[in-house]
Amino acid sequence: MILGLDISTSITGVTVINKEGKVDCNFAIDTRKYKNFFQKAEAIKQKLEILIVDVEKIYIEQSLQSFRSGFSSAKTLSTLSRFNGVVSWICYEIWDIEPRYMAATSARKLCGIRIPRGQKAKKIVLEYIIDNIPDVLIEYTKYGNPKPQCYDMADSWVVARAGWLECQK
**Measuring CA to CA, how many Å separate 1 from each of 25, 65, 163?**
11, 28, 10
* 8 A C-beta contact, residue 46 and residue 39: no
CATH number of the domain within which 122 lies = 3.30.420.10
**Measuring CA to CA, how many Å separate 120 from each of 81, 123, 125, 126, 133?**
22, 6, 9, 10, 19
Phi-psi region of 78 (alpha: psi -120 to 50; beta: other; left: phi over 0): alpha
Domain residues for 74? 2-168
Per-residue pLDDT of the chain (169 residues; tens, 9 = 90+): 999 999 998 999 999 999 999 999 999 999 999 989 999 999 999 999 998 788 999 999 987 554 444 455 677 777 888 999 999 999 999 999 999 999 999 999 999 999 999 889 989 999 999 999 988 889 999 999 999 999 999 999 999 999 999 998 8
What residue type is 77 in one-letter code? L
Number of domains in the chain: 1
